[in-house]
Structure 1
Amino acid sequence: MKINISLPFDHIDNPQEFLTPEAVVEIAQFAEKLGYDGGNVTDHPCPTGRWLDGGGHHAQDPFVMLSFVAAATTRFRLQTGILVLPYRNPFITARAVATLDLYSRGRVTLGLGAGYLKGEYKALGVDFERRNDIMDEYLIALKTALSSEEFTFKGTGYEALGNRTIPGAVQKPHPPLLVGGNSKRAIRRAAELADGWYPFFTGAQLSNTARTAAMNTEEDLAGGLSYLREHCDRIGRQDKPTVVLGSLVAPGEKPAPAELIDRIGQYSEMGISGCAYGLIAGTRAEWRDKAQSFAENVLSKIDNG
């Protein structure tokens, strides 16, 4: 089981703690030294004040942040968790991904999703009601652009006629693509178009407010895994998708280390190959202490190779 850690650069209340180049270097190198497989960043380029005031969070540009992290580390994986794919022209995304993968020597993993913030969609000029159709189309376009030196693709309102994204990504045919989301459509998308599924526990508040399918229990997770396998059989996919859990714990949970170790073992037996661990801290010192405590009490006691 490979464990990533969610990076804290979305915490803007104490900018001197997390919003400096020195903070990125310190935190990224510390997490790599502790043995975390990689770091996760999220994606909210223009969230509404209403959502933020109701418990939402800010997010720095994911490709900029992961570029800083890449420059400070050597083996640490660079993961978007998640990138809202419909927000950007897929060929702009392909160029960003290829560049980051090239300069990081092949360390990018893309968690991708359709998103759920209607107000953010409106601000970016993207049709919220068509987000799932856009997601499917952009995922195909992204794979096309990353997998070929020269490509042709006709999309909705855009068309590539023998265009090139060179040099491409180091990882072939492209960096791992994990589809986020708990809905049956997201699971089908993961089976049909991606390398893996990236589910996440929602908690009651997010389930009620975020227009996203709920996943609150391990039974919910097991049901999603069963549906994933059934759909793979239905479409004839032989290589089963990788499953990486977006978070080891649900929002508000505070399980003890022994419980976390048991949970990781159980998830591994279910066929999950990785997950992310998130923690809340007001200062870099507190973040380091909590990251080290988890590494010593949980990470060191599992097989995370």
Structure 2
Amino acid sequence: MTFTLSTSLPFDHVHQAEEFVSMQALHEIARAVEDAGFYAGSVTDHPVPSARWLDNGGHYAQDPFVMLSMLGAVTTKLRLQTNIIVLPYRNPFITARAVSSLDHFTNGRVILGMGAGYLKAEYKALGVDFDTRNDLMDEYIKAMKLAWTGEDFTFEGTGYTALGNRVRPTPAQKPHPPLLVGGNSKRALRRTVELGDAWHPFFVPKMITDTARTASMEDDEDVKGAIAYMQDHCAKVGREVPPKVIASSTYSVKKGWSAQEALDHFAHLKSIGIDASGATVYADTRAEYCDLARQFGEEVISKIDF
């Protein structure tokens, strides 16, 4: 697998709405990102974040499947990635239907990054029990996999029951789009091995994770330890090929950025066992954003050969 790079898209920048929150912005940025050679464009998932979280460093998010559908309509190669969707927020068959529809109509370009989330106030607003989120996460992945077969299925879930149901068309990718399992906890790592295709680490220092209710992941030893843990669990459950490690954004592209620094950074990630990563472009205007994205493509993406 060639080392690939995704990018986090800026359509949630409501404080710069004239530049980034419009159909014209989506068209221009989609073309620039695809021209640059990014493997995937990603959007996140916060349907109803709390004002307190937003006012203390949080961020808005558009509906992920709406945004990725529009993105898919104006691109031809760019993969369409959720980074991440909070899986327990929605009935799993609603999510399965959205994924299969999007993947079918975009000829197999969906990457489903998903996690259990950590915002208690958002869980409360959506009427989902925060304390059962990890159990729901495991259950929902199993339910979606059944739905994606395209065959009649039965499934007894938490507060819902399928007694002979069917979802078609199936995803274009077989048996389903890549499942990137987010989270740094031991349970998330076991979930990756048992139910996922790749681990999607959340790189964040301990001082933040103490309040975000997730395990820290801030240095090489943390990453190597997590990979070793997954390898051990693979041996326990009989998985022959360990999950890939696909990070999201680990590099910032802004005024004064260095192509050599970026190349060295991604080479280092590869050396510690990470198979893919991402870069986020920061700009005040979409014209600047598009220029930086294309420059990054020419000076970094086109030169990655590891």
Q: Same fold (TM over 0.5)?
A: yes
**Alpha-carbon distance in 2 for matches of 1:130, 1:294:** 42
Whether the aligned pair in 1 keeps the contact of 2:7 and 2:248 (CA below 8 Å) is no
Counterpart position of 1:221: 223
Q: Once superposed, what is the RMSD of the aligned Cα atoms?
A: 1.7
**Alpha-carbon distance in 2 for matches of 1:259, 1:201:** 19
Whether the aligned pair in 2 keeps the contact of 1:198 and 1:246 (CA below 8 Å) is yes
Equivalent AA in structure 1 for residue 240 of structure 2: Q
**Alpha-carbon distance in 1 for matches of 2:123, 2:270:** 36
Question: Shift of residue 229 of structure 1?
Answer: 1.1
Whether the aligned pair in 1 keeps the contact of 2:8 and 2:43 (CA below 8 Å) is yes
Counterpart position of 1:9: 11
| 3-state secondary structure, aligned to 2:134 | helix
Higher mean C-alpha displacement, 212-221 vs 189-198: 212-221
Counterpart position of 2:33: 31
**Alpha-carbon distance in 2 for matches of 1:255, 1:212:** 30
Q: Which runs of 5+ in 2 are unaligned?
A: none
**After TM superposition, which residue ranges in structure 1, 4 or more long, deviate above 6 angstroms?**
none
Question: Shift of residue 204 of structure 1?
Answer: 5.0
**Alpha-carbon distance in 2 for matches of 1:120, 1:180:** 18
**Alpha-carbon distance in 2 for matches of 1:80, 1:45:** 13
- 1:178-223 Cα shifts (integer Å, max 9, x gaps): 1001111100000001111100211355323211111111221111
Counterpart position of 2:177: 175
Whether the aligned pair in 2 keeps the contact of 1:111 and 1:198 (CA below 8 Å) is yes
Query: Percentage identity across aligned positions?
Result: 55
Counterpart position of 2:167: 165
| 1:264 maps to which of 263, 266, 275 | 266
Counterpart position of 1:230: 232
**Alpha-carbon distance in 1 for matches of 2:35, 2:207:** 35
| 2:80 maps to which of 78, 84, 87 | 78
Whether the aligned pair in 2 keeps the contact of 1:200 and 1:247 (CA below 8 Å) is no
* 1:234-249 correspondence to structure 2 within 5 Å: 234-249=236-251
- What is the TM-score with the length of structure 2 in the denominator? 0.94
- 1:11-52 Cα shifts (integer Å, max 9, x gaps): 011211111111111101111011111101000000000000
Counterpart position of 1:62: 64
**Alpha-carbon distance in 2 for matches of 1:275, 1:149:** 35
Whether the aligned pair in 1 keeps the contact of 2:84 and 2:115 (CA below 8 Å) is yes
Whether the aligned pair in 2 keeps the contact of 1:152 and 1:163 (CA below 8 Å) is yes
**Alpha-carbon distance in 2 for matches of 1:141, 1:90:** 6
